[in-house]
Chain A
Amino acid sequence: MEARQVTDFHCLPDDLFTRADFREDLVEETGFSDYSYWGSTIRTFFKSPFVKVTVVAVLALVTFTIIFPYISDADPYKVSLSVKDWNQPPSEEHPFGTDGVGRDIWARVWYGTRTSLVLAGIVAVLEVGIGVIVGAIWGYYKQLDTLMFGIYNTITNIPSTIYLVLIAYVMKPSILTIIIALVSSGWIREARWFRNRILALREADYNVASTCLKTPVTRIVSRNIVPHIMSLIIMDAALTIPASIGSEVFLSYIGLGIPAEMVTLGNLVNQGRSAFLVYPYQMLFPTAILCVITVSFYIIGNKFADASDPRNHV
C-alpha cells in the first residue's frame, strides 16, 4: 500500500487508466445507516454507570427475595413465647432484630418485599395492559371521547385516597381487594396517556399508508403502533411498580390494606411504627428496604424513558 502512495503523478502504469468493472451490488450497498432503535436505546440506557449499579442492585434484590425462602429456614411467622426473644436489637442470629412477639424482622422484611413486589407486578401488568387496550380503542374512535373523558374526569377528580379507602372498606381486606382498588383507579390514567400517544402516531404517514391499503385497525394497532410505543409501555410499567408499592404501604399503614397477619412491607412499616419510639430499628429496616426498591424503580423507569427517546441517541 505504501508503494502506491505516489507523490509524483507523472509515471503511473497505463493499465490504471482503463475502464474498471462496474459493480451493481457495491452501488446499492453504500450509505445506509447502521442505526437500530432498540440497540441504541439499550446502549444509551447503560451508558451511565449509575444506571448499571441501580439495575444490578434491583436485580440482586429481586433475586434475593425470590430465593430467600429456599436458602433460609427463618420463619417470618414464628412467635416466641419467651420474653427474652421479644424486641431484640440486631444480632448475628437476627440481623434486623425481632419484633414485639419475637418474630425475626430479617425474614419478615424479605417475605414482605416478596408479597409487595408480586402485588405491584400484578397491578402494573393489569393497569398498563388495560390502559393500552382501552387507549388504542379510545384513540381510534373519536366518538368515544365524550364518554371516556367523563369517566376520566370522574375518577381523577376524586382524590384517589378517598377512593381507595372506600373500596378497601366495602370489600374484605385481602390481596385481591388491593389489586382491584389500585387497578380500578389507575387504568384510566394509563388509557388516557396511551390514547394521546396513539393519536399522535395514527396520523403518521406510514399509518395513513396502511389505511390506504385497507389494513384492519386491529392489525394497524398491533403491527404499526404498539411496537412503536413498546419502550413507553416498558417505562410506564417500571414506574407503576413503585407507585403501587407506595399505595399498598399507605393502605396497609392506615389499616385498610392487607390483613395484618400477612407480611407485606406496608404491614411491617405499620407494625414498626407502634414501637418506633422505643425500638426505632423495627420500623427503620423495612422503611429502608422500601425506599431502596421504590427509588431504584423510579430511577430505572426515568432513565429508560430518556434512553428510549431517539433524540438522545447520539
Chain B
Amino acid sequence: MKREKVFEAQNVEIKFNLRGKTLTAVRGASIDLYQGETLAIVGESGCGKSVFAKSFLGVLDKNGWVSGGHMLLDGVDIAQYKTEKEWLKIRGKKIAMVFQDPMTSLNPVKTIGEQIREVIAWHFGTDKEASKQQAIELLYQVGIDNAEARYKQYPHEFSGGMRQRVVIATAIACRPKILICDEPTTALDVTVQAQILQLIKKLQQDLNMSVIYITHDLGVVASVADRVAVMYAGQIVEYGLVNEIFKDARHPYTEALLLSLPQLAVKGSDLQSIKGSPPNLYKEIKGDAFAPRNPDAMKIDYEIEPPFFKVTDTHYAKTWLLHEQARGYVKELSKKQEERVKATPEVDSGSSEKGVLVSLRNVTVDFKLGRKKFSAVKDVTFDIYRGETFSLVGESGSGKTTIGKAIMKICHTSGGDIFYKGKNINKKLSGAELTRFRRQVQMIFQDPMASLNERAKVDYIISEGLYNFRLFTDEQERKRKVAEAMRSVGLSNEHATRFPHEFSGGQRQRIGIARSVVVEPEFIIADEPVSALDVSIRAQVINLLNQLKKDKGLTYLFIAHDLSVVRFISDRIAVMYKGRIVELAGSEELFAHPLHPYTIALLQAAPIPDPDIEREKRVIAYDPSVHDYVTDKPFWAEVAPGHFVWANSHEMAMYEERLAKLK
C-alpha cells in the first residue's frame, strides 16, 4: 500500500520569547503525512504538540517563530513563508484546522450560516446565493438537520457538539487536503465525542482528506488513527502504525503512558504512574528528555541524545534501549517486568463494616434562570456507606457537581433531606455543629490552577484548616502537622515556603489534597479531581487518593465523567442524566450488566485504548424518547440486589428478564 506523501515536516524547531527568556517548544520534530491517512500526534500538555501543528498553518502566537527545519507541501517549503499573504494561499484551502473550544472559533454575533457563507465567498469569490446554497449543503454534510432553519441561528443557540460540527463545516468549506484537529473533542462529553469522531472519519473518506489529530487521549487515538507519533518535550520520540504503538511500544515514555491508563490496570492495585512532570523547556535538555522520570534509565540516557532506531519499516523509536549494546540491559528489564506481573496484588474486598455514612433522600435543587425555573437535581435518593468510594457519573450539566455542593452545604437545596451520620444537615446548623461538620467533610476541586490561593505560601494554604479548627497547641505542632500532610502527598517539606505558582498542575492538586486531609476528615467529596490533569499525572493522583483511603479510612464521593477512572477507583457507581440518577449499581455489576439505555450509551461511547476493539465498535446515541412515560410512570426500584434503575413497570419487567438471561 504505497501512498502519496502529501506533507512532510523535517526537523522543525520552534522558539518562543516569554518574559525576556527564550524557550524551545519544538526541538527538531519530523512527521510525514500520506494521502487519505489519519496521523495522531499524542503527548501531554506542554510537550509542544499544539505548537507544532499550529506552525503548519502559520498561526503561532506572536512571540513564537519557526527557527529551523522545513515543511514541504506540494514541493514548496512553507517554513520559509513570512507574510500573511503567502500563508493565505494555503490556509483553509490546503490545510485547515479545527480547534478545541468551538465557542472561541465562532463569532458570537453572526449567524452560523453567514460565517460559513463568508468563508466560501471569500475563498472562491462565489456570489451570495450560490455560496449560501453551498453553506446549507455543508451543514447537512456535517450532520445538522434542518439546515435551512439553523442557517439563521447564532452560535449560542447550538449545543457544544453542534457547534463543533459547525466549526468542522467551516474548516472543510474550501475542500482542504489536510485537516488538523487540535483536541477536537476534549471540551465535549463522551457520547458527543464519539459522534464527532465518527463524523470526521466519514468526512475524511468522502473528501479524501488526510487528518492530523492532536490529542492527549489514547482512547481517541486508538479509535481514529492509522499512524501515531508520540511527542515528548518538543520531540517525536516514537512513531509507527497504531497497532505497533499500542501493542509493541518501545520507548519507555510510550510504555509508561499506556501503563498509566486505568483501563488496563487491575483494580485494587496501584496504577503505574510516571513520577514528576514534563521538563522545563527553558533549560537545555541533555540526552533523553524522559530520562529523569524513568526509573529504568541507563547512564547513556543522561549523556547523549538517542537517534531513531528502526523496529519495523513503519515503526521507529528514539531510545537507546534499541541499541545493540543495550540487549543485556533489556533482558534484565523484561525479567523484572515479568516478576512484577507475577506478584499479583492482594485484592481487598472493600470494607467489612457497612454502616451508612451519608444518605440523601429526595434531594431536589432548583435554579432560576431568568424567569424560568429549572431543576439541576431532581428527587435524588442514595446512600454512601462508610469506607467506600461512591461515584457519580454523568455528562456536564447532569447535576453531579450540584449534588456534591449540596452535601458540602455550599449550595442551596429546594427539598429533601441529607443525613450525615444519621443527622439531618440540610437545614441551618448552629455554629458548633457546622464547625464539626466542616471538619469531617472536605472537598477536593477539579482545577488545581484555580483552587489554590496564588498569593499565599503553601504553608498557610495547608494550615488554613488547622487555624480554623484550632488543631494545634503551639507553632511547632502546627509545623509538624503541615510537614506530615505534605509528606503524605509526596511533597518535601521545603516546598512549604513556596508559592503555588512554582508548582506544576499535579503538584498543585496534591497540595489541594493535603489541605483537605490535614484536618483529618472522614468523608471527602472529590469533584473531578483528575480531569484537568495529564494522563501520567492522573495516575499519581489516583494512587494517592487510594492510598489515603486505605491509610486513613476515608470515604469518598467521587464525581467524574471519565468512566475508566471511575471503574478503577469506585466500589459503587451512580449514573446521572439531566439531574436524575438513572442507574445505580456496584462498579463491576454496572459495567457487566448495564440496563438503562443511557448507561449503555455512555459505556459504549467511552473510548478504549485498544485499536482492535475500538475499530469494531458502533456508537449508540441515547435518545430519551425511547421511554414512553405518558401513562406508565417511571419509578426508582431495585431490579437485583444492590442494582437500582429508574424505569416504569414495563421496562422494569424487561430489565429483570434481561438480567435473568445474562446470569
Contact A206 B296 (CB under 8 A): no
A12 within 8 Å of B (CB atoms): yes
A28 within 8 Å of B (CB atoms): yes
| Interface-located stretch among B301-309, B550-558, B619-627 | B301-309
Q: How far is the CB of B603 from chain A (nearest CB, A)?
A: 30
List CB contacts (< 8 Å) of A1-59 with chain B: 4, 6, 9-10, 12, 14-20, 22-28, 30-37, 40, 43
Contact B503 A32 (CB under 8 A): yes
Contacts of B301 in A (CB 8 A): 20
- Closest chain A residue, CB of each to CB of B408: A212
A250→B148 CA distance, assembly (Å): 62
List CB contacts (< 8 Å) of B272-308 with chain A: 275-280, 282, 291-304, 307
A302 within 8 Å of B (CB atoms): no
A200 within 8 Å of B (CB atoms): no
Contact A17 B46 (CB under 8 A): no
Given known pairs A28-B507, A205-B445, A210-B464, the reply for A22 and B297 (CB within 8 Å) is yes
Given known pairs A9-B323, A12-B325, A36-B499, the reply for A26 and B19 (CB within 8 Å) is no
Contact A16 B453 (CB under 8 A): no
Contacts of A6 in B (CB 8 A): 304
Q: How far is the CB of A37 from chain B (nearest CB, A)?
A: 7
- Closest chain B residue, CB of each to CB of A32: B502
Contacts of B328 in A (CB 8 A): 17
Given known pairs A20-B298, A210-B464, the reply for A27 and B275 (CB within 8 Å) is yes
Given known pairs A214-B435, A223-B460, the reply for A32 and B504 (CB within 8 Å) is yes
Given known pairs A37-B454, A204-B450, A213-B438, the reply for A27 and B276 (CB within 8 Å) is yes
Contact B325 A213 (CB under 8 A): no
Interchain CB contact (< 8 A) of A35 among B275, B326, B501: B501
What count of chain B residues pass the 8 Å CB interface test?
A: 69
Contact A16 B300 (CB under 8 A): yes
Contacts of A9 in B (CB 8 A): 307, 323
A282→B296 CA distance, assembly (Å): 83
List CB contacts (< 8 Å) of B429-445 with chain A: 434-435, 438-439, 442-443, 445
A307→B507 CA distance, assembly (Å): 28
Give a binary string over B302-346; 1 marks a CB under 8 Å from any A CB, 0 the rest.
Answer: 111001000000000000100111101100000000000000000
A40→B20 CA distance, assembly (Å): 10
- Closest chain B residue, CB of each to CB of A212: B443
Q: How far is the CB of A257 from chain B (nearest CB, A)?
A: 40
Contact A23 B298 (CB under 8 A): no
Interchain CB contact (< 8 A) of B410 among A20, A22, A211: A211
Interchain CB contact (< 8 A) of A17 among B326, B438, B469, B491: B326
Contact A31 B279 (CB under 8 A): yes
B512 within 8 Å of A (CB atoms): yes
Q: How far is the CB of A203 from chain B (nearest CB, A)?
A: 10
List CB contacts (< 8 Å) of B560-610 with chain A: none
- Closest chain B residue, CB of each to CB of A12: B325
B492 within 8 Å of A (CB atoms): yes
- Closest chain A residue, CB of each to CB of B444: A209
Contact B468 A224 (CB under 8 A): no
A227 within 8 Å of B (CB atoms): yes
- Closest chain B residue, CB of each to CB of A206: B453
The residue in A18, A20, A27, A314 that gathers the most chain B C-beta atoms within 10 A of its C-beta is: A20
Interchain CB contact (< 8 A) of B453 among A31, A224, A314: A224
A215 within 8 Å of B (CB atoms): yes
- Closest chain A residue, CB of each to CB of B333: A19
Contacts of B82 in A (CB 8 A): none
Contacts of A18 in B (CB 8 A): 298-299, 329
A263→B259 CA distance, assembly (Å): 79
Contact B515 A19 (CB under 8 A): no
Q: How far is the CB of B537 from chain A (nearest CB, A)?
A: 10
Contact B443 A17 (CB under 8 A): no
Contacts of B468 in A (CB 8 A): 213-216
A211→B435 CA distance, assembly (Å): 11
Q: How far is the CB of A230 from chain B (nearest CB, A)?
A: 8
Q: How far is the CB of B289 from chain A (nearest CB, A)?
A: 10
List CB contacts (< 8 Å) of B1-40 with chain A: 18-20
Contact B304 A31 (CB under 8 A): no
B654 within 8 Å of A (CB atoms): no
A228 within 8 Å of B (CB atoms): yes
Contacts of A94 in B (CB 8 A): none
Q: How far is the CB of B379 from chain A (nearest CB, A)?
A: 26
Contact A30 B502 (CB under 8 A): no
Contacts of B20 in A (CB 8 A): 43
Q: How far is the CB of B453 from chain A (nearest CB, A)?
A: 5
Contacts of B435 in A (CB 8 A): 214
Contact A30 B280 (CB under 8 A): yes
Contacts of A216 in B (CB 8 A): 468
A313 within 8 Å of B (CB atoms): yes
Contacts of B279 in A (CB 8 A): 30-31
Contact A209 B320 (CB under 8 A): no
- Closest chain A residue, CB of each to CB of B46: A31
B85 within 8 Å of A (CB atoms): no
A28→B302 CA distance, assembly (Å): 17
Contacts of B503 in A (CB 8 A): 32
- Closest chain A residue, CB of each to CB of B506: A31
Contact B504 A31 (CB under 8 A): yes
Q: How far is the CB of B253 from chain A (nearest CB, A)?
A: 14
Closest 3 CB pairs of A and B: A27-B276, A16-B300, A227-B455
Known A27-B276, A31-B504; further 10 A-B contacts with Cβ < 8 A = A17-B300, A19-B299, A20-B299, A22-B297, A30-B292, A32-B501, A32-B507, A35-B501, A204-B450, A213-B465
Query: A: which residues have CB within 8 A of B?
Result: 4, 6, 9-10, 12, 14-20, 22-28, 30-37, 40, 43, 204-206, 208-216, 223-224, 227-228, 313-314
CB<8 Å pairs between A and B, sample of 8:
A17-B328, A20-B291, A26-B276, A32-B504, A33-B502, A35-B19, A212-B443, A223-B460
